[in-house]
Homo-oligomer: A and B are copies of this chain.
Amino acid sequence: MNLRIYDPETARKTLLQRQPPDVQDVPAAVRERIQALFGEPLTPAQAVARILADVRTGGDAALRRWSQHLDGWTASDFRLPPTELQRALAHLSSDLREALESAAERIEAFHRRQPLTSWITQDLGGTLGQLVRPLRRVGIYVPGGSAPLPSTVLMSAIPARVAGVREIVLVTPPQRGSDRPAEIILAAAALAGVSEVYVIGGAQAIAALAYGTETIPRVDKIVGPGNLFVTLAKQQVFGVVGIDGLAGPTETVVIADETANPEWVAADLLAQAEHDVLAAAIMLTPSETLAYQVQQAVARQVAQLPRKDILALSLVGRSGIVLTRDLEEAIALSNAYAPEHLNLVVADPWRWVEKIESAGGIFVGEHSYEVLGDYAAGPSHVMPTGGSARFASPLNVWDFVRLISLVALDPRTAAEVGRVSAQLARAEGLEAHARAADLRAATANS
């Protein structure tokens, strides 16, 4: 198991080519599971639509039924007593607690510096501007899976708290073999300012957050990563609630030149590749020497790692090394790919930062490797995947507010704008619009 070396032309057509979410082949295992659970060969989107419709009309009872049916788990009350959060924090080992606190502090410090303010102008004939209002109630989905992810709790909830959201609701499935989340998840929730925890996962949890049930009040927006079913559920409830985006498999592109330390780059690629069999760990380099050195370092390091079953698939799946003509070509390939993470490990990284058009995050130089961004560098690790960095941003405080436009014209400006508006309204065939303006003008002239 090792990284394959591609030429740019082949890479463009294979490694760097991504299909939008809904035409990806559904793995046979998923198809079979749906057939078993639903008794017919539904697509994942159809299966999700059924769950959503059912929870929407059936409330808590439907929620319990789906949770039992899909996850073999249910509860009479999904809500965890809020006191459990502080208790979990108090019982955490002091090492882990300090690590979580240190991460939380940097994440908060970073997001507090993000400009976020209402604005007003008085030089357009009155008072105009936009008011920033925090969302009232936000839902954060944290996946279950093989290991608990306290970092995702911090990375999602802290920007919400900084934005001023009062009600931050965490939903997460129980830990495997238990009826509640891992203690470290609850401890992270306590630190991040989570106000409610519901132990429920999957598309049914998204339905509960979007529509509300008898015991779970609906939220205004749902954020956070999840599996295929959670992601499809988020897409389908978009519009009923806000969502942050559709999370796909994670991706890192490392652009490196001959000055890079091959052992470090290899470690960074392996850190990326261990996430998941679909994870993409890609190095773009004009240095043939580095390419081979990294290949060898990956082979050496992988032998000493756990999660070999995942690495065996991810290293030969969406990962690889692309030998480019020069750094310009590497940047161009990266911009077209629009990676979630981009690490610049080159002699003069700042020279290239301005040329990066699309990426969730840029990690500048070999001391700012992506693992630091996963935990404690400061920015949220919830970043756009699957090429959505073309149009989407990392999770940030703006995701947790909305704007209200403010129009308070002085009477003279209102009269001028009224004349223009009446004229355009008539061109659009909207006579009642025009008359609302005429009426003011008539009163002013009388």
Residues of A within 8 A of B (CB): 20-23, 56, 95-96, 99-100, 102-103, 106, 109-110, 113-115, 117, 119, 121, 124, 126-131, 133, 135-136, 146-151, 184, 211, 220-221, 235, 238-242, 245-246, 261, 263-264, 267-268, 270-271, 273-275, 301, 305-307, 311, 349-350, 353, 356-365, 367-369, 371-380, 383-384, 386, 388-394, 396, 398, 402-411, 414, 416-421, 423-425, 427-433, 435-437, 439-440, 443
Contacts and interface: CB of A to CB of B under 8 A. Distances in A.
Given A113-B121, A267-B439, A368-B126, A428 B151 contact: yes
Given A420-B103, A436-B270, A146 B429 contact: yes
Given A20-B239, A428-B149, A405 B106 contact: no
A311 to B, nearest CB: 8
A336 to B, nearest CB: 11
B102 A420 contact: yes
A436 B267 contact: yes
Chain copies in the assembled complex: 2
A403 B397 CA distance: 11
Q: Is the interface of A mostly helix, strand, loop or mixed?
A: mixed
A102 to B, nearest CB: 5
5 contacts: A147-B430, A267-B432, A358-B404, A367-B440, A372-B437
Contacts of A432: 267, 270-271, 273-274, 301, 305, 307, 311
Contacts of A371: 418, 421, 425, 433, 436-437
